Amino acid sequence: MAVAEIIATLLLILIAIAAGAVVYTYIQGFVGSATQNTGGTMAVISIESFCVSSSTRCGANSSFYLVVLNQGPSSISISQGSAPQLYFADAVSGRYISTTCNAAPATVDPDQTYACSNSTPDFVGVSPGDMVTIKVVDSDGGTTILSMRAIS
């Protein structure tokens, strides 16, 4: 009987050590990836002006017109493959759509703006007075959100 008790005790110790090693490895992997910094900075942006219309009454005959300000310390590069994404949500109808900003390829320096628009009538699909939320996401992940009522 004494040999079985010793073997059982050794097995329990080995199981505890193995479980501790698994937990230690998991925590090291989690903390390592959570604290890893790639050195890149995210754009700091804000919406300077925003208009959304059920027709084309926003600047230059657009169904929406949006001006975004680069408030960050670094420039934002806009190109065909890295244009900001726009997400619209109509709180009244529940409609969600997304599109790519049609800004011309450029480098937007700090304290400079870029504009996005669409001349397709009722592109966003809103009714006058609907509360519309716009979310702008730059290619590096910089994000800004604003809500506004649609005009006719």
CA distance 123 to 116: 13
pLDDT digits (tens, 9 = 90+) for 110-149: 999 999 888 887 788 888 888 888 999 888 888 888 888 8
CB 131 within 8 Å of CB 85: no
Q: HSE of 40 in the Cβ direction (CA atoms, 13 Å)?
A: 8
* pTM (two decimals): 0.70
CA distance 108 to 68: 10
DSSP string, 129-146: T-EEEEEEE-TTS-EEEE
pLDDT digits (tens, 9 = 90+) for 65-78: 899 999 988 888 88
- At residue 1, the pLDDT reads 58
- What confidence category does residue 36 fall into, taking pLDDT thresholds of 50, 70 and 90? very low
- Domain boundaries, given as residue ranges, for the chain: 1-36, 45-149
- At residue 40, the pLDDT reads 63
Q: How far apart are the first and last CA of the chain?
A: 89
- At residue 130, the pLDDT reads 86
**Fold of domain 45-149:** Immunoglobulin-like (2.60.40)
Residue 18, SS3?
A: helix
Q: Reply yes or no on whether the pLDDT at 108 is more than 80.
A: yes
